[in-house]
Structure 1
Amino acid sequence: MQSEKYVIMDGMDSSHTAPRDPDLLLDFDEVSLIRGGTTLVGPVNWQVELDERWVIIGPNGAGKTSLLRMAAAEEFPSQGRLWVLGERIGKTDMRDLRASIGMSSAALANRIPPSENVGDLVISAGYAILGRWREEYDELDRERATDILEQVGAYHLVDRTWGTLSEGERKRVLVARALMTDPELLLFDEPGAGMDLGGREDLVAYMGDLAMDPDAPAMVVITHHVEEIPLGFTHAMLLDEGSVVAQGLIEDVLTSENLTKAFHQPIEITQLDGRYFARRARRAGSHRR
């Protein structure tokens, strides 16, 4: 298992030691993640600037979560060079980076004890821990957690325990926890998964408001469904089998041609009031007898 201080030996030259562009929060340079001889993702070249909102879409096994884990400073790349928040991965303490990144994922949700109080769960993000032990939180922490829970429509859950929450309620609480640290970068791994239609639409609407806030941090969201893309998102990446099918401005990437290539079946995409909708294209000549 690699340690937190592991250094990637890649023959780095002086051109890669120059100060990074402060507007560049993620910088993937020919990055790959390989496990057991299998390439999970890569090689990827990808940059995220501070005012951008990215959505990453692709079928199961495309490498979306692996890519996001590297962006979250939770995985070391096997090959290539990666900078997160201006720091070179493999040359810096990963724990310091994680404190500046807000993350919401199923992996995090699975680590939360059922008895954990929702208010404490949100507050503890500011201390880079999961679960309260003997920490004493001050009033400012509690006020901030209360404000954020109210913003995401989860204030009424503040005194509940994690084990009593529905899937939709858990998603809202995880979003609040991700926002608690006032992060420079927000990462969401399938935030709408498991939610009913009403809950999903509420969450998409809130994330759209957040995306259109000029003071909000950069955002990267993974989803399987274009219907879950909030308003205000500027860029998109399509992944398939670990490789990038297309990336760039969202209107250039989310096309029927690109989605058909990524999902290996004829897909038609339409847009209504700024939201995207996709379906399998009807085969020519098909009809109901």
Structure 2
Amino acid sequence: MPAAFELSKVSVVRPGKVLLDHVSWTVEEDQRWVVLGPNGAGKTTLMQIISATAHPSSGKVRILGSKLGKVDVFELRTRIGHTSTAVADRIPPGESVSNTIMSAAHAVLGRWQEQYDDEDRARARQMMGEMGITALADRTFGTLSEGERKRVLIARALMTDPELLLLDEPAAGLDLGAREDLMSSLEMLSNSPEAPVLVMVSHHVEEIPVGFTHVLLLRDGKVVSQGPIESTLTGETLSATFGSRIQLTRDGGRYAARRAAYGHRADNTGEAR
């Protein structure tokens, strides 16, 4: 089975700042990854690389079988779904939810003169159904709550049946109820055999949906640890990533983290001692 993407010793350097430092990372087609790290860790830059919207300063990148730098990135991007606040900010507030989702078929934000057929409309209805937002079809994007917007963005990203889906902090800014609604949708997506390869960026272990299989931990542009989530995500690796003694617990497949009690440290299992 070919890898969904491969990064080999990838670095991104900007004047006065190393954003990524020799990152090597391979994601297979049957995996679901979460990328964790503090602000400034390089998570956004990493997502720009694997979404083919930025090139590394050095190193090699292969995405969906194509080598970055030797492929038409505009064609490659049509095979990648991407959700972020930057996408949300560009959607016209008066656009209906159904049109917001359907317009992804033409890679535009907002209906213009493009034509849609019954297959496009059926696909949009299917995506709304899968994300539990069918009732929002005629609502305008500007009237939605933050949680509703996040689910609309994911439905839009899935509209073109992408091979790779990138979720950049999908739960950011959500209240507890909206976050749990989103987690439920993402859990169903991650457990679907027809789902694309999933990569999600987050600051918080509480936002990792059940069903995600692997984790990459970043700090200061460097990989702290990576691998299967059950063995890689520990109190020890979280402490190294966030620069604080962290106790990690797991219940029903969901994670929770808090600062380890004073005078104790987190061991490899995440328990304070």
TM-score in terms of structure 2 length: 0.94
Residue 214 of structure 1: how far off its partner (Å): 2.1
Verify: 1:27 aligned to 2:6, yes or no: yes
Residue 222 of structure 1: how far off its partner (Å): 0.4
Letter in 1 for 2:229: I
Give the distance between the partners of 2:2 and 2:189, measured in 1 at CA: 19
Contact 2:92–2:109 (CA under 8 A) maintained in structure 1: no
Letter in 2 for 1:271: R
Q: Helix, strand or coil for the counterpart of 2:226?
A: strand
Deviations 1:25-71 (A, max 9, x none): 11001111222241111210000110000000000111111101111
Give the distance between the partners of 1:257 and 1:165, measured in 2 at CA: 40
Partner in structure 1 of residue 163 of structure 2: 184
Residue 215 of structure 1: how far off its partner (Å): 2.2
TM-score in terms of structure 1 length: 0.89
Larger deviation, residues 237-246 vs 109-118: 109-118
Give the distance between the partners of 1:41 and 1:154, measured in 2 at CA: 37
Q: Helix, strand or coil for the counterpart of 1:195?
A: coil
Match of 1:41 among 20, 36, 54: 20
Match of 2:253 among 253, 274, 277: 274
Q: Helix, strand or coil for the counterpart of 2:194?
A: coil
Partner in structure 2 of residue 225 of structure 1: 204
Partner in structure 1 of residue 134 of structure 2: 155
Match of 2:239 among 249, 254, 260: 260
Letter in 2 for 1:156: A
Give the distance between the partners of 1:172 and 1:213, measured in 2 at CA: 17
Match of 2:144 among 165, 180, 191: 165
* Deviation beyond 4 Å, 4+ runs, structure 1: none
Give the CA RMSD over aligned residues: 1.2
Match of 2:62 among 65, 71, 83: 83
Deviations 1:116-140 (A, max 9, x none): 2221111111212222111121121
Match of 2:53 among 70, 74, 79: 74
Residue 170 of structure 1: how far off its partner (Å): 0.6
Match of 1:250 among 229, 242, 247: 229
Letter in 2 for 1:57: L
Match of 1:193 among 169, 172, 188: 172
Match of 1:109 among 81, 88, 94: 88
Match of 2:99 among 111, 120, 129: 120
Give the distance between the partners of 1:138 and 1:35, measured in 2 at CA: 45
Partner in structure 1 of residue 216 of structure 2: 237
Verify: 1:138 aligned to 2:110, yes or no: no
Structure 1 segments unaligned to the other structure (5+ residues): 1-21
Residue 284 of structure 1: how far off its partner (Å): 2.3
Contact 2:32–2:213 (CA under 8 A) maintained in structure 1: yes
Residue 277 of structure 1: how far off its partner (Å): 0.8
Partner in structure 1 of residue 263 of structure 2: 284
Larger deviation, residues 250-259 vs 127-136: 127-136
Count of residue pairs the alignment pairs up: 264
Residue 198 of structure 1: how far off its partner (Å): 1.2
Partner in structure 1 of residue 78 of structure 2: 99
Contact 2:12–2:58 (CA under 8 A) maintained in structure 1: yes
Q: Helix, strand or coil for the counterpart of 2:93?
A: coil
Give the distance between the partners of 1:37 and 1:116, measured in 2 at CA: 41
Residue 23 of structure 1: how far off its partner (Å): 2.0
Partner in structure 2 of residue 129 of structure 1: 108
Q: Helix, strand or coil for the counterpart of 1:214?
A: coil
Partner in structure 2 of residue 50 of structure 1: 29
Contact 2:34–2:216 (CA under 8 A) maintained in structure 1: yes
Residue 99 of structure 1: how far off its partner (Å): 0.5
